[in-house]
């Protein structure tokens, strides 16, 4: 396995829609996914999409482990913080409820910044695993946010493009100014 170089905002691969994976069970896809997981963990990320490691394919990996609890200081969602390490190939998302939830997002391709992004709070997602079998789940809170964030990368979109108020795009070191006093 290897730690892969992460593309940063401004690189053309992050603005280009990714291509479908014809065979999720191919050995080269398994190698790529293993490297993506290692890279995500090394970078302390909650998710990673193949375009972020310079591969224009529709693959995402993510996790929302219970020990990565919501940080009230960052305004993160407190509901549904548990999703196992998941590989989704050729994913699709359906919005289950039109209710929108805002939260602070960061991105390995936009290092050092956080932005307030509003997204649907309840989704259903589906895609194929490395074995070619269907994975289908519903998600809320952080789980839903991370899936939508990673799938946006497959469409050539970064979270700043989802923001409605760019005055809430801030350096991580300054986010404390946006928090309500305790």
Domain at 20, CATH number: 3.90.45.10
Q: Is residue 19 part of a domain?
A: yes
- Spatial CB neighbours of 64, under 8 Å, sequence gap ≥ 6: 46, 80, 81, 82, 83, 142, 143, 146
How are strands ordered across the β-sheet holding 100-107? Answer: 100-107, 110-120, 169-171
Among residues 60, 64, 97, 100, the alpha carbon closest in space to that of 80 is found at 64
**Cβ-contact 59, 50 below 8 angstroms:** yes
4 in any annotated domain: no
| Overall number of domains in the chain | 1
**Per-residue model confidence (pLDDT) at position 75:** 44
In the chain, % of residues over pLDDT 70: 88
Residue 167 has pLDDT above 90, yes or no: yes
48 lies in a domain?
Answer: yes
Structural domain includes residue 1: no
pLDDT(144) > 50: yes
Q: Given this model, what pLDDT does residue 67 score?
A: 47
Confidence of residue 83 (pLDDT cuts 50, 70, 90): confident
Does residue 77 lie in a domain region?
A: yes
What average pLDDT does range 113-137 have in this prediction? 97
Sign of the C-alpha dihedral computed for residues 83, 84, 85 and 86 taken in this order: negative
Task: List, by residue number, the catalytic residues.
Answer: 150
């Amino acid at each position: 396995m290897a730690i892969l170089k992460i593309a940063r905002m401004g690189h053309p691969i992050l603005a280009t829609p990714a291509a479908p994976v014809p065979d999720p069970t191919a050995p080269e896809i398994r190698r790529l996914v293993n490297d993506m997981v290692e890279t995500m963990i090394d970078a302390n990320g909650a998710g990673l999409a193949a375009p972020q490691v310079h591969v224009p394919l529709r693959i995402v990996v993510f996790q929302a482990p219970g020990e990565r609890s919501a940080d009230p200081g960052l305004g993160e969602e407190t509901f549904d913080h548990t999703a196992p390490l998941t590989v989704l190939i050729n994913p699709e998302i359906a919005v289950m409820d039109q209710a929108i939830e805002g939260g602070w997002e960061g991105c390995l391709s936009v290092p050092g910044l956080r932005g307030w992004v509003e997204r649907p709070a309840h989704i259903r997602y589906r895609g194929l695993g490395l074995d070619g079998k269907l994975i289908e789940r519903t998600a809320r809170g952080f789980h839903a946010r991370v899936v939508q964030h990673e799938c946006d990368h497959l469409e050539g979109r970064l979270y700043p493009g989802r923001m409605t108020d760019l005055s809430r795009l801030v350096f991580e070191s300054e986010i404390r100014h946006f928090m309500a006093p305790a």
